[in-house]
Structures are given as structure tokens and as C-alpha cells.
Amino acid sequence: MSAKILVVDDSASDRFIIEKMLREYSVLTACDGVEAMRQINENEDIDLIILDLNMPGMDGFEVLNELKSDDRYKRLRAIILTNYDELDNEIKGLKLGAVDYIRKPINMHSLKARIEIHIELLHVQRLLEQKLNEQVITFDTVFQQAPIGIAISHSDQPLDSVSKAVTRFNPMFEQITGRTKEELIELGWGKITHSDDLEEDLKKYRKLKSGEVKSYSMEKRYIKPDGSVVWVYMTVAPLVLLNDDQYNHICLVQDITERKAIEADLLESERSKSVLLSHLPGMAYRCNYDREWTMQYVSDGCFELTGYRPENLVNNRDLAFKDLVAPEFRESLWEEWRRAVERRITLNYEYQIVTAKGERKWILEIGQGIYNERGGVEALEGIILDISDRKEIENNLRYSNEHDNLTGLYNRNYLESLLESD
């Protein structure tokens, strides 16, 4: 592995021997501490220093002190050269940051072996740092660009300011809540949670903190600075960090305000439809396109119209709708539906049904086919209205128009119509 090594020794012969032994590496030399510091400052890519402690002028201890006092040199590794009777110097050098030592006279094979070990350790360290740096970059990219809000908290006090704790909020979290990270840190999440949601949130949070649950999710509202609310779907889970005894948790939020508005509109629409259907003088339905007219849905007006409850008809549980249609109208009704479906027009047909009590009623059915993407009939939908009263009035008017009020016999109008028909 390629590496740059600085050999610092006041002995020219020792420098020469070490440099020759390390010819496979890039080697720099210095005769004292002053020159060593100059080389270090001019060559930022030095990996390892072979440092003699006993030198005139600036000795090895002073060099180690300089390296220890400045973060720029924290990556440098130093192997110190000592004499056999200098155990105290070895200990002192190691305390000042040296990673190893070799005693003089130098055993070159031993020195080379140790250098190779430390160069390999440097290589492994750099690979780990590179991997860690890549992970940090990846995390930071995801954190900054995620389309959901992310908060990482090192505080277990939701109701109070968390300014003393390390807390991170990504840009989307700030955007969703409408607050800056400084505001969020100052207030704490308890104070920006809607009062109607706070009790449930705190209850679940306490269970999370106690270990009773591994995570929790809920829909809740955050209060924006202008007093408006934003609906979010929130998931909270503990965050276990290495060498950190403090309680940590991560919170993920997704803005669902638009979805909640749609749900509210849908609910209101369903309510309005329910009110409308409850006042309908008849029934609404959805059925299969088959000769049984198998019902998928029937409104509550079914009971007043037919004497049967919706559940009696749905999926032909007790009887099919066809069974209600007066026998003489069944075939004509099917033909009318077939024509309406083929032409994709609205059915508008009057016929009679037989109720649960055996009574006949005139009804008006208005319906149409529901088609899928392939053009096939998915279902039939429509309404059925009771027109018995209207039919009775029409019959009475027709009778009055054709009969004498006193005798009840056919009148002139009727006779003239017969002659015209002939």
C-alpha cells in the first residue's frame, strides 16, 4: 500500500538506513523537531512519523505536544524511537499520543513490521471513515430531501422546551408545521399539537417510552402560527444510537390535510344522499344485469314500496326482484332493459309489481347501465317510484271522459273515438 512516511532523527546514519529500508514508501526526512514541523505543515498527506525523542533544539516530546494541541494533526500516527533505559520516556511519549515505540539500537525488521501494521491500520481506518462519510452523506441527502416530515429528538419531555437537547427537523417538517426549527425547539411538540389530539398522543407516547409498545401511529393535528391546523399521519418509534444512554425517538409525519378535506366532503355527500333517499317516494337500487335483477344495493324506501326489507332482496336472499314484477310485465321489462343497454340510453318504463301483501302497484322505473372500461355492463342503477295514485287519477279521468256522469253509460266522446278508429 502506498503511504508517505516522515523520518525524524538527528542521526544522519539512522535516517539513511530507515529511508533505505522503506524504499517502497514515499519517505521524507527531518533532522530535528523544527524541520519536522515544517515538513508536516508543507505535506498534509503524511501518514506516519518515525520520531526520535532525543534531539537537540526541538525534541520529540515538543513535536508530540504540537501535534496533540492542534486538530489539524489528529490523523497523524507517530512511532517513537527510545533507548533501552528510557521506560519513563516511552510512557510519556505514549501519553502524548504516540501509537507505538521502538528501542535503539533499532531492529530494522521489527520496525518495518510495525510500520506495515500501522499503515494497514491507517488503510482500514480510512476505509471505515469513507464508508461512514458515505452513510452520513446518504442520510443527510434523504433527511433534507425526503417528501415527509422527519424529526429526531433526544428529549423525553414533549410539553416543555427542548432547547437544551439536540433535536433535528428536516425542511419538510418545518414546511408542514409552518414553523422554523428554532420555534419547534423552543415550543416542544406538545405545545403545537391540537388540544383534542394531545391526550391520545401523550398516552401512546408514554407507552412507547415505557417499552409497552415498539412504535405507534395516529392521525393528529398540528397548530400553525396563524391558528390554522394541518392534519398529519404520524409514526413515532424509539431510536437506538451507539454509545448514547439518552432517550431518543424519531417522528415521521405526512400531510393528509387534503385527504381529510376529501373525506369530510364525502361524508357530507353521503349524508346528503342518505337524507335524499330517505325522502324518496320509492327506492333507489343497484343490481346485476341479469334476468333476476339480482340486487347489490336497495335503499330503505324498498319496505314502504314493496313490503320487503332491503336485506330480503340483496343477493336474492329471500326472493329476486323479478319475483315482484307482475308476470305479464317480466318479458317486456327485460326487453326494455336490453334495448336501453344496447343503445346506452336511459330506461323509462311503467309496469306493475306485486307487494308482500299481494297488492298490485303501478311503478315508474328510471335507470341506466353502468359500463366498465372495456364497455361491458357492470351493473344497472336507478330509482323506482310509486305512481299508483297517478295511475288511478288517469283512469278516473279517462272514465269520466268516456262515460255519462248520470247513467254511467258510454258517452258521445267514446262512440266518436270508436268510429274514428274504424
Say yes or no: 128 and 168 in one domain. no
**Is 406 domain-assigned?**
no
How far is the first Cα of the chain from the last one, in angstroms, to the nearest whole number?
A: 119
Domain limits at 75? 4-134
Q: How far apart are CA 414 and CA 421, in angstroms?
A: 11
Say yes or no: 119 and 153 in one domain. no
The three-point CA angle 63-26-74 to 5° equals: 35
CA dihedral 56, 58, 59, 65 (to 10 degrees): 170
Say yes or no: 248 and 336 in one domain. no
**Is 396 domain-assigned?**
no
Q: How far apart are CA 413 and CA 398, in angstroms?
A: 11
**Is 253 domain-assigned?**
yes
Say yes or no: 311 and 378 in one domain. yes
**Is 419 domain-assigned?**
no
**Is 60 domain-assigned?**
yes
Could you tell me the maximum CA-CA distance found in the chain, to the nearest angstrom? 151
**Is 192 domain-assigned?**
yes
User: What CATH number corresponds to the domain at position 26?
Assistant: 3.40.50.2300
Boundary (domain end) residue, out of 70, 102, 134: 134
Say yes or no: 253 and 291 in one domain. no
Give the pLDDT of the chain (422 residues) as one tens digit per residue: 578 999 999 989 888 988 888 888 899 999 999 999 999 999 988 989 999 998 888 988 999 999 988 888 888 889 998 888 888 888 998 999 898 888 888 888 888 888 888 888 888 888 888 888 888 788 788 889 999 999 988 766 655 554 455 678 999 999 999 999 889 888 888 889 999 999 999 999 999 988 899 999 999 999 999 999 999 999 999 887 765 556 688 899 999 999 999 988 888 877 777 666 666 778 999 999 999 999 999 998 999 999 999 999 999 999 999 999 999 999 999 999 999 999 999 999 999 999 999 999 999 999 999 999 888 999 999 999 999 888 877 776 766 666 666 666 666 665 666 666 65
Long-range contacts from 151-156, C-beta under 8 angstroms, 24+ separation: 151/184, 151/189, 151/250, 151/251, 151/253, 152/239, 152/248, 152/249, 152/250, 152/251, 153/189, 153/248, 153/249, 153/250, 153/251, 154/244, 154/246, 154/247, 154/248, 155/188, 155/247, 156/209, 156/247, 156/249
Identify the CA nearest to 254 among candidates 339, 175, 180.
175
β-pairing, 360-371 vs 347-354, is antiparallel
User: What CATH number corresponds to the domain at position 244?
Assistant: 3.30.450.20
Say yes or no: 163 and 210 in one domain. yes
Say yes or no: 284 and 341 in one domain. yes
Say yes or no: 251 and 319 in one domain. no
Hey, which residues does 219 pair with through a beta bridge?
233
Q: What is the number of structural domains in the chain?
A: 3
Say yes or no: 128 and 150 in one domain. no
Boundary (domain end) residue, out of 90, 111, 134: 134
Identify the CA nearest to 286 among candidates 299, 267, 273, 272.
299
Boundary (domain end) residue, out of 134, 161, 196: 134
Say yes or no: 241 and 292 in one domain. no
**Is 410 domain-assigned?**
no
CA 269 to chain CA centroid, Å, is 28
